[in-house]
A and B are shown apart, each in its own frame.
Chain A
Amino acid sequence: MTDVHRTIETVWRIESARLIAGLARIVRDVGIAEDLAQGALVAALEQWPQTGIPDNPGAWLMATAKHHAIDLIRRNVRLEQKYETLGRELEIEQELREENFQDNLDQDMDDDLLRLIFVACHPVLSQDARVALTLRLLGGLTTDEIARAFLVSEPTIAQRIVRAKRTLAEARVPFEAPRGAERVSRVSSVLEVIYLVFNEGYTATAGEDWMRPALCEDALRLGRMLAELVPNEAEVHGLAALLEIQASRIRARVNSRGEPIPLLEQNRARWDQLLIQRGLTALARAEKLGAPLGAYTLQAAIAACHARARTPEETDWARIVALYDALAQLTPSPIVELNRAVAVAMAYGAQEGLELVDELLDEPSLKNYHLLPAVRGDLLAKLGRSDEARAEFERAASLTQNQRERALLLERAAAQKGT
């Protein structure tokens, strides 16, 4: 690849979201907008190697795509009523005449980006489709990159994106940011997608690597972007805080062989203090904006308890238990209960924790969840019940899909001395 091509690829990564968002406002169809943006990219690939990179490559791409949009509208009058079409054309031409339209339309651009995020995470789409579309349209990832991140084939992702765009068009999803009561649920749909992407990077559900940090960085970037676009939603900052603090541990949570290191055994000197500070700032913003605290903010507050402790012994476990209490009330789930049990064990003793874990043994949703026997094994080991602990670690190893995690669990099983 030549230097120019590499530059074009980079410009695309930086500009594509704003480009697609701006075009989607004009043509009111995310699929067509992306095609137009791609068309501009092709034009750049053809022309820039000869003409050189323009001073403002983003503006060049936008202007080119808008000219394509006018052509398209003229050719395809069925796209809209003719009257409306004429108006749209004038609108685009007006924008093209405004010299510094990029500066003038900064606020509009932000609004367009936000609309694009809401549309990409629209509830009419399946969770998988929302993730793929968000990474593609907002994250600037290629289908190949998304496919590799989620360990599926490229045609699968390509097809998923094509179908998603078709679904949006068929459902006539407007290119709008939701207002009123709908807004809350739509914001949480966006947060869910970002958190899902982060988690797939943070603890891969399958494959050889236990973490895929690049995916975490993509999610973080989306989270930070959203925090700027929707500064008044507490949970947006709550999620940003949660991601920053969790990401601060990335360097510390695997050893040189790629095996996971549990939180309390991590070398805290390797935690990224810059990300921790950013996380604590975002958490403070979330707490200031909204009481009662939402689920992401509560989880961020829990993560912050760990981040603030210089040594594991300094951890404020009683506060963590209280935060899990609040979380369990807000979003009751066996997983939250399991985590709460761990905190209780740390705050008040392994026996107390084990009693809570045992209450979860009949929980159907945890039947195949490897962390239940893993936690139970840990508590049993602390209580000196080695045989039972070994059996639980072995069971946990048989349940996890991740090879690194399995190795660690088998190691812990082997370390239990028979009684």
Chain B
Amino acid sequence: MQVVVFVKATPESEAGEMPGTELLTAMGNYNEELVKAGIMLAGEGLHPSSKGARIKFSGKKRTVVDGPFTEAKELVAGFWIWQVKSMDEAIEWAKRCPNPMEGESVLEIRPVLEASDFGEAYTPELQAQEERLRGKLP
């Protein structure tokens, strides 16, 4: 299974403060461990939301809102994509991460949805329809 691991933003990361050498080194080592174990598929750090934008949808209307956005803890400062056996394994690896921020911080692990996750409601007929529809996409 694949999981996305989000590094939640902090006021400092939103202010554009870059991590120090010590943290960068620790993170580098941790990433190396992930790569060596064959579980890391991708990972990136993100600019603060002041450089981002949101597209708001309301019916057919689209509104572009430029950053920054408030509520730092609801924002994301970086992410990984891992291939793991289970959520347990993802949690175990995440616990080994050096604190990704200088102060308090949060990692959030979210498993990537697979067809089988939709359960019984997602009948073979619906799945077949989905496949047909997807087949028509460019």
Contacts and interface: CB of A to CB of B under 8 A. Distances in A.
Contacts of B137: 269
Interface in B44-93: 81, 83, 85-86, 88-89, 91-93
Contact of B128 (A13, A225, A256, A275): A256
A6 B88 contact: yes
A13 B37 contact: no
Contact of B131 (A7, A217, A267, A275): A267
B89 A14 contact: yes
A224 B38 contact: yes
Contacts of B127: 256
Q: Chain B: interface residue count, which band?
A: 20 to 34
Interface string B110-138: 00000100000000100110010011010
Nearest to A218: B85
A229 to B, nearest CB: 8
A10 B35 contact: no
Interface residues of A, number: 28
A278 B85 CA distance: 19
Interface string A3-28: 00011011101100000000000000
A225 B38 contact: yes
Interface in A204-231: 214, 217, 220-225, 228-229
Given A256-B115, A256-B124, A267 B89 contact: no
A214 B37 CA distance: 16
B134 A10 contact: no
B138 to A, nearest CB: 8
Contacts of B135: 267, 269
A7 B88 contact: yes
Contact of A224 (B35, B86, B124, B128): B35
22 contacts: A9-B88, A10-B88, A11-B92, A13-B85, A14-B37, A14-B89, A14-B92, A217-B83, A220-B38, A221-B38, A221-B83, A223-B38, A224-B38, A228-B36, A228-B38, A229-B36, A251-B115, A255-B128, A267-B131, A274-B81, A275-B41, A278-B41
Interface of B: 35-39, 41-42, 81, 83, 85-86, 88-89, 91-93, 115, 124, 127-128, 131, 134-135, 137
